């Protein structure tokens, strides 16, 4: 392939890239808003003679007046050269080598400028037959790196040398217009990395932006490409999508573009046009609750979210097992739990520590109705009781009836005093007369037998 053909392919994929440099006086990014550790890395690279830029979401968020969660850096130094500058450096990644500069728990990620994988002389990349990038250690210039970025609002570079911003794809203009626009030919870029479709919806929900028309057009049709993405990567993406503070809005966008169905194929048959199924009501409840907890600065547990999302598909399968194999409700739920979770991890590789917690939460739904004798007291001592109760309460909102009454009983029982708790247990259908509650007389209290 000659140079002209190479240039043509690059142009067709990435389109026109036009650099606009904004001087320090023309933008609002201040070093006071950049973390000290990120500045240390930027200045050390710069002082060693390398180019050093703050890039991506960090620049975007600073321009929007928000505090970035992460500060990522791009440079023309190779990973090995970066490692020689920083003793606290660790090189990671196979698909693309990255340098992590460790400052305790704070990690500054440094990437070498990426080049075009079409250029054979620099090619250390590998693509699948469908155009997906499998390995991408191709280094290049800052211009090429900008072309390789996904969205225009992520292709802005803050230069530590003169504090200017290099905007390669009209990112500042798109920030002002509040749109998510993919750089280059959308279908080709999505085929390179289908996760970009998920990122488009995540940024749109997070920033309250619209997805630009050409960027949105191919998503629904190309969404099944996500099935070829490793399940471990999709698990991490699912947390970014659903546990970043705007999970409910992201979920609705994902459904609109046929993306949610690819990550959770087990849930897909339960999705309706009017969002009225129990599964959909639970999705709204748990994602809204998750968003509220994040807003309040509380911790969230992925296991609870997945337990809620998968509960009704699991119960539907359990009912089928009870009918077809004559299993008890407990055995059917245990078997259905294994089947559903084994199937789900093929799409999103939920870690074993979380699947174990999911099973505990589900088991508690069968145990919480059994409250006679000392059972209620023992259940409250369990490590996962609170998660099980919180989930029961959500079920009560959806199902009403006995489930809502049971959730109300447990709500009262938790806050009641000792005597009231005992009275509540005794009132459970004549529990005091059952063998589990009956006090045995001690031998001393028995009447002596008559001698006559």
Question: Cβ distance 130 to 225 under 8 Å?
Answer: yes
Q: Give all strands (DSSP E) within 93-244, no chain letters.
A: 98-103, 106-112, 125-127, 133-136, 156-159, 165-167, 179-180, 210-211
Identify the active-site residue in 61, 72, 174, 291.
72
Is 291 a catalytic site residue?
no
Question: Cβ distance 203 to 209 under 8 Å?
Answer: yes
The CA R_g of the chain, rounded to the nearest whole Å, is: 29
Is 150 a catalytic site residue?
yes
104 CB-near residues (< 8 Å, 6+ apart): none
**How many other CB atoms sit within 10 Å of the CB of residue 108?**
24
Which structure tokens are listed for 215? 């960027």
Distance CA 143, CA 119 (A): 14
**Ramachandran area for residue 326 (φ above 0: left; ψ -120 to 50: alpha; else beta):** left
For the chain, how are helix, strand and coil distributed in percent, rounded to 5? 55, 10, 35
CA 43 to chain centre: 33
Identify the active-site residue in 61, 136, 145, 150.
150
Distance CA 235, CA 322 (A): 31
Question: Cβ distance 285 to 398 under 8 Å?
Answer: yes
CA-to-CA separations, 189 to 57, 142, 143, 217, 357, in angstroms, rounded: 19, 19, 17, 13, 38
Question: Cβ distance 142 to 158 under 8 Å?
Answer: no
Please give the helix or strand (H or E) that residue 447 lies within, else none: none
Tokens 């089947």 found at: 339
Is 70 a catalytic site residue?
yes
Q: Is the dihedral of CA 75, 78, 83, 88 positive or negative?
A: positive
Tokens 């609705």 found at: 252
CA 133 to chain centre: 22
Q: Minimal CA–CA distance to 8: which of 136, 185, 216?
A: 185
Catalytic residues: 70, 72, 150
């Amino acid at each position: 392939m000659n140079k002209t053909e190479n240039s043509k392919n690059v142009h067709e994929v990435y389109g026109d890239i036009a650099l606009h440099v904004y001087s320090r006086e023309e933008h609002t990014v201040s070093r006071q808003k950049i973390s000290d550790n990120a500045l240390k890395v930027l200045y050390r690279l710069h002082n060693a003679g390398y180019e050093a830029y703050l890039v991506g979401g960090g620049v975007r968020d600073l321009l929007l007046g928000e505090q970035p969660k992460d500060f990522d850096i791009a440079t023309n130094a190779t990973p090995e050269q970066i490692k020689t500058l920083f003793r606290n450096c660790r090189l990671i990644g196979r698909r693309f080598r990255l340098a992590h500069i460790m400052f305790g728990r704070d990690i500054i990620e440094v990437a070498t400028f990426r080049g075009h994988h079409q250029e054979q002389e620099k090619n250390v990349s590998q693509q699948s037959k469908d155009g997906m990038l499998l390995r991408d250690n191709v280094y290049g210039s800052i211009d090429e790196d900008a072309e390789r970025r996904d969205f225009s609002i992520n292709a802005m570079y803050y230069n530590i040398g003169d504090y200017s911003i290099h905007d390669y794809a009209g990112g500042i203009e798109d920030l002002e217009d509040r749109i998510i626009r993919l750089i280059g030919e959308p279908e080709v870029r999505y085929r390179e990395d289908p996760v970009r479709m998920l990122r488009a919806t995540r940024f749109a929900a997070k920033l309250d932006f619209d997805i630009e028309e050409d960027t949105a057009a191919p998503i629904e049709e190309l969404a099944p490409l996500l099935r070829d993405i490793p399940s471990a990567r999709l698990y991490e993406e699912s947390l970014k999508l659903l546990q970043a503070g705007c999970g409910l809005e992201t979920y609705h966008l994902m459904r609109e573009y046929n993306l949610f169905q690819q990550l959770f194929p087990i849930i897909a048959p339960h999705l309706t046009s009017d969002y009225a199924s129990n599964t959909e009501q639970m999705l709204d409840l748990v994602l809204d609750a998750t968003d509220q907890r994040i807003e309040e600065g509380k911790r969230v547990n992925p296991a609870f979210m997945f337990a809620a999302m998968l509960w009704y598909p699991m119960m539907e399968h359990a009912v089928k097992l009870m009918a077809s194999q004559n299993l008890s409700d407990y055995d059917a739920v245990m078997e259905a739990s294994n089947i559903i979770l084994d199937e789900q991890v093929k799409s999103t590789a939920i870690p074993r520590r979380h699947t174990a917690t999911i099973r505990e939460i589900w088991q508690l739904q069968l145990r919480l109705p059994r409250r006679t004798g000392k059972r209620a007291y023992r259940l409250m001592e369990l490590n996962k009781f609170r998660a099980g109760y919180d989930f029961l309460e959500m079920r009560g909102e959806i199902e009403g009836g006995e489930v809502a009454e049971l959730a109300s009983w447990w709500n009262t029982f938790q806050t009641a005093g000792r005597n009231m708790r005992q009275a509540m247990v005794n009132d459970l259908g004549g529990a005091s007369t059952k063998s589990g509650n009956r006090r045995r007389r001690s031998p001393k209290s028995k009447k002596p037998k008559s001698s006559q």
